[in-house]
Structure 1
């Protein structure tokens, strides 16, 4: 099969397009014919070696954790899916090797759910990692409830845009930081946009004089530290990028595969409460270009690679 691989850590130039062996299908595994795979910052960070202390790389590595595709066949212990089913997956294992930027991926059952019927494969590929990150942070960590006011940093990005929509679905009011060019986009998602930078505290306090009930940080650094004084009494703080949040009394979140959470996202999407903004689409052989664009860090929504 055709796939993207890298044989050593490095920049986008280490990504190779070519033939590799088709993956084996274990007892609890589903062979998925990949239709689309989304690019996430963790993909290029893993490729650059930044995750080497926590995830062993078995070279050559096929990158990618997000997938939308069609079940080709299933392992003998799998009863949840059959050939022809359309699925999405956050296909993360405990090592780097068998990723989703390929014609086929052998996905453990625990990583999959049914694809939202109202989303294209290209759109659906953007749901798993970003959607699970937002869902698990909002629901399980920040415990956002109806009537809360939530501050979301980088609200126009892949995770941020999911967080805005899911927080609104939970009945919360959302204030989102973004560059001015993305303010109208945030309004369409149901957020009240504000700009980054100097004066952030004042801008938030103008909208929420009593403080916010929860802060969802996707940026870290100054945005995180500036958020602490903005919390209302009993307010909750979480970051997906900066572990210094722990010293500030908040929670650090690293998303985990969960088929039930992923199915919840599918259900929410099918009710029309969760969509995916796809900013750029690349063919599989141009994955290196997709990585380069993602590394620039200014993407609205998702960058997606299509297969076939």
Structure 2
């Protein structure tokens, strides 16, 4: 028997992208219903990522977005209806997840969305819905890199490239929570943030790779190097990793690179493509599992997202995208869907 609260409104507001590169348009659409294996969520907040702006501009072919599209990959909200065979969720539950906005999956820039229940988890009790919406994409990416691929553990030295960024700042916290000693690169203006997160800051603009490897590892190299930047930073990662046992992980390993420095160290490499379960349908359960683990970390005080203090709504979603593109954010930009 399907459990539900009073029926959702027949129509909803949603931000729609009709053509790549065109302005976002606020429209009235029919409210979706929860199909097999799905949960209908009343969206409270949607996190904005650089990925969202790239999709809008038509520069994210890997997201395989189909137009017209409702963007927004991160969500936090309240369960409205649950399909008959779905367990673990009931109407009124506060949830979060990386659930749509790519492929043919509806995104979170809408008042309601029907999502695969496997992609959801109950949000951390200690966070509000707005803060919870900041986490899904960045924390799943960091977890897949550090925990699933590199198996980070106590006693290791971990280098995070881009430590004050979206993925980077949660990667630092995950690695520290698992007992690693963490170092992180950034520009001069981000070093204070990196230090506040508990990592040793490294100014990559003034310190050559060889120098910080010598200073912080005695020339041995880092056990894990997590690249969240790509390009030349990934190349630098191959020269910063420990010989034989070191592991490089990248969330942006999409260019052409020489792996000779890595090979000469006998080290290993893994790539992370966080969108794959959403695009293929395979492995979606693991996203829910990660989010449950993350919720426990947050509620234990070991992880906290950085959230930009500005407030945006569905009507000002375009301004939120511009804020992300400007590179001047002080944490994750959040769009308040439920005003």
**TM-score of the superposition, structure 2-length normalised?**
0.85
Question: What is the Cα deviation at residue 204 of structure 1?
Answer: 4.0
Equivalent pair of 1:55/1:94 in contact (CA under 8 Å) = yes
Identify unmatched segments of 5+ residues in structure 1: none
User: Which residue in 1 is equivalent to 2:249?
Assistant: 238
User: Which residue in 1 is equivalent to 2:8?
Assistant: none
User: Which residue in 1 is equivalent to 2:332?
Assistant: 302
Equivalent pair of 2:241/2:247 in contact (CA under 8 Å) = yes
Corresponding residue to 1:5 among 13, 16, 25:
16
In 2, distance between residues paired with 1:61 and 1:32? 18
- Cα distance change of structure 1 residues 223 and 298 upon mapping to structure 2, 3 Å threshold: farther
Question: What is the Cα deviation at residue 223 of structure 1?
Answer: 1.3
In 1, distance between residues paired with 2:324 and 2:92? 31
In 2, distance between residues paired with 1:96 and 1:286? 24
State which drifts further: 220-229 or 210-219: 220-229
Select the structure that is richer in strand. 1
State which drifts further: 164-173 or 199-208: 199-208
User: Which residue in 1 is equivalent to 2:264?
Assistant: none
User: Which residue in 2 is equivalent to 1:254?
Assistant: 273
Question: What is the Cα deviation at residue 241 of structure 1?
Answer: 1.0
Question: What is the Cα deviation at residue 282 of structure 1?
Answer: 1.3
Question: Highest Rg: 1 or 2?
Answer: 2
* RMSD, aligned CA: 1.8
Alignment partner of 1:48 is 2:57: yes
> Tell me, what secondary structure is at the counterpart of 1:193?
strand
Question: What is the Cα deviation at residue 284 of structure 1?
Answer: 1.9
User: Which residue in 2 is equivalent to 1:276?
Assistant: 305
User: Which residue in 2 is equivalent to 1:110?
Assistant: 118
- Cα distance change of structure 1 residues 52 and 220 upon mapping to structure 2, 3 Å threshold: closer
Alignment partner of 1:225 is 2:235: yes
In 2, distance between residues paired with 1:205 and 1:244? 28
**TM-score of the superposition, structure 1-length normalised?**
0.93
Question: What is the Cα deviation at residue 23 of structure 1?
Answer: 1.3
Equivalent pair of 2:158/2:183 in contact (CA under 8 Å) = yes
In 2, distance between residues paired with 1:121 and 1:200? 41
In 2, distance between residues paired with 1:195 and 1:215? 16
> Tell me, what secondary structure is at the counterpart of 1:4?
strand
Task: Kindly tell me the number of residue pairs found equivalent between the two proteins.
Answer: 305
Q: Where do 1:69-84 residues align within 5 Å?
A: 69-84=77-92
> Tell me, what secondary structure is at the counterpart of 1:20?
strand
In 2, distance between residues paired with 1:190 and 1:40? 24
User: Which residue in 1 is equivalent to 2:29?
Assistant: 20
Question: What is the Cα deviation at residue 94 of structure 1?
Answer: 6.5
Equivalent pair of 2:235/2:257 in contact (CA under 8 Å) = no
Encode CA deviations 1:249-308: one digit per residue, 9 max, x unaligned. 522111144111111111111111110110143122111111112123353431111112
Equivalent pair of 1:161/1:301 in contact (CA under 8 Å) = no
Equivalent pair of 1:157/1:302 in contact (CA under 8 Å) = no
